[in-house]
Structure 1
């Protein structure tokens, strides 16, 4: 517990511990990834993937150590009691800050398999960690604007194919696949530009979750609907490193995945797309009401 130190010093110590954690565990993951690349067969891939995920969980555990050192955060976490660390879960969450990722990893650690995120393609170039994400089979998505797709129609559907390939790999070992449905971090400016119908959320995008359910729906045992709330206001990542975050609330709802939404053509079937969007809208309405209640109580 380093709360007696100035926040800048705590932030520096946390940054150094995080960097050391990345270097040590990143090196171990990349070493195993060489064998995975050279021997791409299921008989080798299954045990290697399991070992890689175990090492990644060690990285998450060490992150929990520097988080606790920076400050004794008051956590309110609900809904974890019946989860299975050997199961397959589809996870959705609201997204407000880079801190969300560390919060999700810390609270779900040991409760569900290691979380796999959908990432922007540019993040593969982040030193060391980008290659680690690649080794752990994190899917990198290259999003194209509508203007680009009109000039290059052959690129349409590229993300969908990336999602399918990634989910095929996830089916080999127990995995939690997380999707930030908003597609970006919440800000009031983005909220106003979108004219979002929700008070505390951006508009959700149903395409990614539809593809994940289509590719792995029979494997997922349930949906984990996670709501993250920061009673003191949305923190920056530096706030988190420096121990300026005193309270965090994480509420988890385990919900069944509708069987009629597991298979369907989201891009080509208008009726199916409408049903998927309606289901996601219901999830987001409930989450918005939950955030409103949390804000009122805090």
Structure 2
């Protein structure tokens, strides 16, 4: 199919799928708001997740129909829908999100991301993310915190509120450890010691582990590679992404990985060392996937 036909067709189908599922989502959300009974709210929360997984499933089917992506995925054995995961992945593009959804949808509990607060204004998707209890974070620069020290700790408070909701249902908490998308310019500016990755941000991972407590059963490390080079959502929709390679690895959450990241200096240094080691392993895995 010529690209000038396929592109608007796929965009229209994706938009229609999003609209239909969003309407169903908003109806259940309204019911959840007006029905205060905890049992009803838990049942409706499961219904909201089922709608979201259906939306992802239809999106996956559309990509399967209109693209020619060769998928190479390893490490899916042993994944469970009744286990709670902390999912850690490298981040290169918005395409990473549909890739994760393609690989993990209905294999583990529904993925929830920590989102920038501005994304709540994205038409349809922003309110849908809010309805699904995605946490919206307002990140402050060092300059802002220096001028307004009262803002310090708000992200941690938001993390704890989100994790309190997550403990009520099976969940997979998604964290892009680098905190931003990889670009060569960012890599050079950071003087990153990794070949394929930016420096990891250990604080966010530590906060989730601490806030969730024993509500998480395992860490799921995900390495994503695009052998054809950097790509955008438009490349994905237009059929220009030819190959995606994904490697997954589960590891247990040792008791020593939980602690007070802000108040315990010894724990903070130990945890940062653990994250750096993990990231060196991730860098080597990405090199093998590319090779």
The equivalent residue for 2:278 is: 283
The equivalent residue for 2:63 is: 67
Residue aligned with 1:268, SS? coil
What is the CA–CA distance in structure 1 between the aligned matches of 2:7 and 2:41, rounded to whole Å? 38
2:97 matches 1:101: yes
The equivalent residue for 1:265 is: 260
Query: Please, which moves more after superposition, 268-277 or 112-121?
Result: 268-277
Per-residue Cα deviation, 1:188-233 (whole angstroms, up to 9, x for no partner):
0111111111111011111111111011130111000000011111
What is the CA–CA distance in structure 1 between the aligned matches of 2:47 and 2:253, rounded to whole Å? 29
The counterpart of 1:153, out of the listed 136, 149, 154, is: 149
Per-residue Cα deviation, 1:64-104 (whole angstroms, up to 9, x for no partner):
01111222311111111111012111100000011000000
Q: 5+ residue gaps in structure 2?
A: none
2:8 matches 1:12: yes
Q: How many residues align?
A: 291
What is the CA–CA distance in structure 2 between the aligned matches of 1:151 and 1:141, rounded to whole Å? 19
Residue aligned with 2:215, SS? coil
> Do the aligned residues in 2 keep the contact of 1:11 with 1:70 (CA within 8 Å)?
no
> Do the aligned residues in 2 keep the contact of 1:7 with 1:244 (CA within 8 Å)?
no
Structure 1 vs Structure 2 CA RMSD: 1.1
The equivalent residue for 2:222 is: 226
What is the CA–CA distance in structure 1 between the aligned matches of 2:289 and 2:83, rounded to whole Å? 29
Which runs of structure 1 show a deviation greater than 4 angstroms over 4 or more consecutive aligned residues? none
Shift of 1:136: 0.1
What is the CA–CA distance in structure 2 between the aligned matches of 1:35 and 1:259, rounded to whole Å? 40
> Do the aligned residues in 2 keep the contact of 1:235 with 1:245 (CA within 8 Å)?
yes
TM-score normalised by length of structure 2: 0.97
